[in-house]
Amino acid sequence: MGTGMAGEHILVVEDQRAVAGALQMRLRGLGYDVMAVAKDGLEAVAKASELQPDLILMDIKLGDGIDGIEAAQLIRAKSDIPVVYVSAYVDQKLLARARQTHPAGFINKPFTTKDLLTTIDLALFQRSERALAVSARISPTDDHDDENKEAIVTASVEGRVNFVSKAAERMLGWRRKQIVGRSLAAVLDQVYGVGNDRAQTIVENVIMRGSEERLVRNDERAGSDEIGNGDLLTPLRDVQGQSFGAVLKLSSPLRVASFRGQSKAFAKAIDALPVGIAIVSEDMTVLHMNAYAREILKHNRGLDCTNNRLSACDKKLDEKLQQLVTSAATKSREGLDDSSDAMFIKAPTIRDQVEVIATPVSSGNRADEVPCVVLYLFDASLNRQVSREVLTRLYGLTLTESKLVQLLVGGSTLDESAKNLDISVNTARTHLKHVFHKTGINRQAELVHRIETGPAGLLVNFNDDR
């Protein structure tokens, strides 16, 4: 006998504990993931809202309280989660009530494993086909060769991803099970770098207000040599025009000359650098931004990155920044990649300031290659990050010694560091002597300089196992 769709999440609603346990075992044996078991209708409504399963197996008779049909009505009023009814008690009146909730299937007790597998798989398949039909404007009876279908991601009215096409999987570099069930806002933030608050607003505007949003994909977060030409997030509507979710349509990518052949190693390498690096196109669209640059934008109010577009908050400085990038992009097209320029950006009413150096990257002679510019961002007000793990592994420092070095590099005096660590100044001096011995350095100023300019500034992670 075959198995179910791998990784699909199911909520079981059954008031009899023994029956629920047996059903749970059968489902897992078929390859499904049973997220939870609800023993009554109200618990089913709560768990469906919280967990957003791919399908609900709903017993109709649930003892006291609301029955399975009432629970399904409440769930379906807020979500498009398919519900398959399971019951041994069926009459015409009950069936008529059940039909009003538009169930995805009906299983009569007792049932075989084959009945269970067939009904569930059909319900899941129909749901996927319905999402494709509405979002990609194709008929469910069209050619099912996935190569010919659009790269799309759909989400429920609650804003949770419920379908990912194989073309979208390939384009995003994620497996379906890694995305389905996640918040669409979280996915948008990760793919487009718009920030969590902005992503939440985008999702609400599309699903609740019916607006459309064009986004530029940040494929280069993984070092790809391609960028999106503009993806479109639109509402999903039923035949009555009611919104029941959203669909994200991913466009075909364009090639970016500077990233060809770099892949994930490129992104990983610049993410480890303790200097802000933003790679932008001529229109200021961010193609890639390393971790330190994101940290600068997070704390500095002189720069902004809304909808994946970099800008200065001050209008005149933004114009100067645009000119800086345009000039560098022109040099990029001309193959002049050894001519940098720089500017100083200061927030209009506060002390935040950033130094920016723009370097063109030669695009070669290909017509489909997009010229890009590397922006190096420096923010002196941002505390220098020193990796405790590097200090520990490179020099063999203890945890307390590493914390002491971090505090000294951060600008604290020895007395302030001792107070912060809740140790005496004499104990701090002893730890410092041990640090001197292990690093081969004899002066505190020299130690700070070595750490600031050495590998301890790299933003890298280590496994716990040595």
Residue extents of the structural domains in the chain? 9-132, 146-255, 258-378, 388-457
- Contact assessment for residue 376 and residue 359, using Cβ atoms and an 8 Å cutoff: yes
Tell which residue, 121, 161, 109, 110, has the closest CA to residue 32: 121
Classify domain 388-457 by CATH architecture: Orthogonal Bundle (1.10)
- How far is the CA of 240 from the CAs of 41, 237, 243, 244, in angstroms? 28, 8, 9, 11
- Which residue matches tokens 């008529």? 96
Query: Which one-letter amino acid corresponds to residue 174?
Result: W
The yes-or-no verdict on residue 262 having pLDDT over 60 is: no
Residue 254: band (very low, low, confident or very high) from pLDDT cuts 50, 70, 90: very low
Q: Per residue, what are the HEC states of 392-435?
A: HHHHCCCHHHHHHHHHHHCCCCHHHHHHHHCCCHHHHHHHHHHH
Q: CATH homologous superfamily of domain 258-378? A: PAS domain (3.30.450.20)
Listed in sequence order, the residues at least 6 apart from 74 whose beta carbon sits closer than 8 Å to its beta carbon are: 41, 45, 66
What are the tens digits of pLDDT across the range 384-436? 667 777 788 788 889 899 889 888 887 889 999 999 999 999 999 999 999 99
The yes-or-no verdict on residue 345 having pLDDT over 60 is: yes
The yes-or-no verdict on residue 367 having pLDDT over 60 is: no
- Contact assessment for residue 15 and residue 62, using Cβ atoms and an 8 Å cutoff: yes
Tell which residue, 104, 124, 133, 140, has the closest CA to residue 238: 133
Q: Looking at the DSSP assignment, which residues form a beta bridge with residue 13?
A: 38, 58
Classify domain 146-255 by CATH architecture: 2-Layer Sandwich (3.30)
Burial class of residue 305 in the structure, from the number of CB atoms within 10 Å of its CB (0-12 exposed, 13-18 middle, 19+ buried): buried
At 343 the pLDDT is: 66
Classify domain 9-132 by CATH architecture: 3-Layer(aba) Sandwich (3.40)
At 57 the pLDDT is: 93
Q: How far is 76 from 120, CA to CA, in rounded Å?
A: 17
Question: What is the strand order of the sheet 286-289 is part of?
Answer: 286-289, 276-281, 372-378, 353-361, 341-346
The more confident residue out of 14 and 335 is 14
> Which helix H or strand E contains 37, and what residues bound it?
strand 33-38
List, in sequence order, the alpha helices (H) in 300-410: 315-333, 388-395, 399-409
Helix (DSSP H) and strand (DSSP E) numbers for the chain: 17, 19
- Contact assessment for residue 438 and residue 397, using Cβ atoms and an 8 Å cutoff: yes
Cα 453 to chain center, whole Å?
A: 32
The yes-or-no verdict on residue 368 having pLDDT over 50 is: no
Low-confidence winner among 141-150, 266-275, 301-310, 450-459 (lowest mean pLDDT): 141-150
What are the tens digits of pLDDT across the range 182-212? 899 999 988 888 888 889 999 999 988 888 8
Kindly report the pTM of this predicted structure: 0.41
Mean pLDDT of the chain: 77
Low-confidence winner among 36-45, 390-399, 451-460 (lowest mean pLDDT): 451-460
Listed in sequence order, the residues at least 6 apart from 291 whose beta carbon sits closer than 8 Å to its beta carbon are: 271, 459
Instruction: Assess whether the region 146-255 and the region 388-457 belong to the same CATH fold.
Output: no
Q: How far is 327 from 369, CA to CA, in rounded Å?
A: 17
Tell which residue, 94, 103, 41, has the closest CA to residue 76: 103
Low-confidence winner among 268-282, 323-337, 360-374 (lowest mean pLDDT): 360-374
Q: How far is 69 from 85, CA to CA, in rounded Å?
A: 8
